[in-house]
């Protein structure tokens, strides 16, 4: 949780400085490019991060090969997706046109590959049981991009936001890559024995297939939404959207991390499932409700910190998004319960439904209501899904026997490749940020 708070503060500080040092159009273009880069790199690493976390502990002497293969796959996919994106750049709207050109396109592709590297790096460190380095690397990245943002404001007034963000990636990946391949993996190899149960390609394939669809839907809803807005709105409008989106994402990040901690606790004490879930709900409510209420009341003042134009154009959007946090908190808790019960079929279906609702209604309402329509789309989608899951969630929280029976009974949806969380998973959920703001 500490790492999440630090990342959130530094992330908001970055965009606060960006709004102060750069024009609205530059903020819109920079946030659009960053959103696209994160989406493409994240799409390339979806499933791979969980795979390295799952299989590094059992890879033994094959750890270097496993990690190397994961990196190569991520690099190839992110590079190919970036190339496809650049080839269709005209279809993505005016916010992305500054990427049109050999130099800027090559830089974008290289940075998408580097972001995939950075994302996968967290999973590798966790799998090696050295996740303590994750918040250190994330903090170094956040500080570096903030410093570069200010330094480049005078020389790159139009593109400094994207270049400062992307150039800072090297501050994290280069020293950590040396640490991983120069120190941590050799130490792991020295401690490994021939008896380690090395995973086969079939094992890894089954694992990737198990929760891939649900993870892909969850990823798309968060990361494709800003890309869709940037592709439809003008650069200045996108700036107003992205600032509000970043503010609210900070609260969502806390809810996701608390739901993830539920998975860990249940892995250690499955018979206390109901108590753990209710405790998670109390913690989530105590944190998110006051923040949501404060944003609802103080939205103009909060956005006014970024500039008067942000408060003028973004206040209704931020208020709708702040309201959406409340039903979103409930659905995140329910998703955490489904993951803990390994009910991956229902989880994937609900995540797919939420993704379709959010993206579909956003594209529909953005054209008729502007940015306010995006907030309304998010609120209505989250509220509808909450109504769908609420009866089952209430039953799970109120019935002392329900969860224990779920734990002991065979589950047709449960994957044999999803064991109870181990120590390395506890480290991951408690030290890794689910996203970097």
More confident site: 206 or 102 = 102
Instruction: Tell whether 187 and 218 lie within a shared domain.
Output: no
Instruction: Tell whether 170 and 216 lie within a shared domain.
Output: no
Q: Given CA atoms 211, 212, 217, 221 in this order, what sign does their dihedral have?
A: positive
Q: Quick check: 351 pLDDT over 70? A: yes
Q: Quick check: 136 pLDDT over 80? A: yes
Tokens coding 392:
């089952």
- The residue among 402, 292, 293 whose CA lies nearest residue 337 is 402
Question: Hunting for tokens 């690397």 — which residue is that?
Answer: 137
Give, for 429, the enclosing helix (H) or strand (E).
Answer: helix 423-431
Q: Quick check: 418 pLDDT over 80? A: no
Residue 307 resides in a domain: yes
More confident site: 18 or 4 = 18
CA distance 348 to 404: 23
Q: Quick check: 416 pLDDT over 70? A: no
- Confidence grade of residue 406 (pLDDT, cut at 50, 70, 90): very low
pLDDT tens for residues 272-325? 667 777 887 888 888 889 999 999 999 999 999 999 999 999 999 999 999 999
Q: Tell me, what's the pLDDT at 324? A: 96
CA distance 408 to 411: 9
Cα 7 → chain centroid: 12
| Listed residues 144, 179, 199: the one ending a domain | 199
Residue 317 resides in a domain: yes
Residue 169 resides in a domain: yes
pLDDT tens for residues 230-246? 999 999 999 999 999 99
Range list of H helices, 60-132: 63-87, 102-127
> What number is the average pLDDT over the span 262-269?
53
pLDDT tens for residues 57-98? 888 888 898 999 999 999 999 999 999 999 999 999 899 999
- The residue among 42, 412, 76, 53 whose CA lies nearest residue 199 is 53
On whether the CB atoms of residues 345 and 308 are closer than 8 A, the answer is no
Instruction: Tell whether 194 and 219 lie within a shared domain.
Output: no
On whether the CB atoms of residues 347 and 214 are closer than 8 A, the answer is yes
- Confidence grade of residue 424 (pLDDT, cut at 50, 70, 90): very low
Q: Quick check: 336 pLDDT over 60? A: yes
Residue 43 resides in a domain: yes
What is the helix, strand, coil percentage profile of the chain, to 5? Answer: 85, 0, 15
Residue 206 resides in a domain: no
pLDDT tens for residues 101-116? 999 999 999 999 999 9
Q: Tell me, what's the pLDDT at 143? A: 92
CA distance 186 to 64: 8
394 is in which domain, residue-wise?
A: 211-437
């Amino acid at each position: 949780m500490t790492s999440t708070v630090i990342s959130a503060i530094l992330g908001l500080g970055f965009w606060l400085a960006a709004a102060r040092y750069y024009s609205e159009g530059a903020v819109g273009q920079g946030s659009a490019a960053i959103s696209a880069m994160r989406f493409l790199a994240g799409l390339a690493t979806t499933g791979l991060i969980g795979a390295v976390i799952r299989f590094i502990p059992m890879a033994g002497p094959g750890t270097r090969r496993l990690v190397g293969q994961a990196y190569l796959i991520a690099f190839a996919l992110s590079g190919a997706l970036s190339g496809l994106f650049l080839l269709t750049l005209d279809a993505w709207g005016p916010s992305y046109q500054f990427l049109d050109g050999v130099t800027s396109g090559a830089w974008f592709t290289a940075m998408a590959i580097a972001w995939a590297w950075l994302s996968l790096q967290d999973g590798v460190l966790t799998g090696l049981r050295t996740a303590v380095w994750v918040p250190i690397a994330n903090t170094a990245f956040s500080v570096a991009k903030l410093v570069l943002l200010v330094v480049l404001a005078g020389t790159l007034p139009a593109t400094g936001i994207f270049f400062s963000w992307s150039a800072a990636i090297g501050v994290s990946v280069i020293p950590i890559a040396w640490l991983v391949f120069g120190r941590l993996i050799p130490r792991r190899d020295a401690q490994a024995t021939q008896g380690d149960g090395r995973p086969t390609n079939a094992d890894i394939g089954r694992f990737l297939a198990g929760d891939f669809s649900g993870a892909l839907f969850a990823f798309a809803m968060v990361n494709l939404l800003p890309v869709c807005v940037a592709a439809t709105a003008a650069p200045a409008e996108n700036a107003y959207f992205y600032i509000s989106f970043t503010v609210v994402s900070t609260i969502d990040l806390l809810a996701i991390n608390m739901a993830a901690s539920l998975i860990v606790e249940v892995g250690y004490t499955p018979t206390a499932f109901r108590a753990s879930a209710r405790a998670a709900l109390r913690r989530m409510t105590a944190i998110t409700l006051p923040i949501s209420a404060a944003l609802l009341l103080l939205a103009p003042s909060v956005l006014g910190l970024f500039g008067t134009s942000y408060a003028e154009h973004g206040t209704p959007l931020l208020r709708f998004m702040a309201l959406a946090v409340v039903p979103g908190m409930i659905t995140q808790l329910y998703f955490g319960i489904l993951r803990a019960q390994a009910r991956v079929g229902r989880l994937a279906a609900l995540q797919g439904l939420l993704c379709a609702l959010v993206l579909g209604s956003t594209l529909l309402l953005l054209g008729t209501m502007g940015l306010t329509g995006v907030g309304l789309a998010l609120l209505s989608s989250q509220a509808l899904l909450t109504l769908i899951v609420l009866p089952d969630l209430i039953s799970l929280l109120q019935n002392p026997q329900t969860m224990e029976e779920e734990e002991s009974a065979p589950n047709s949806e449960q994957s044999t490749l999803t064991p109870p969380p181990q120590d390395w998973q506890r480290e991951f959920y408690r030290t890794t940020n689910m996203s970097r703001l």
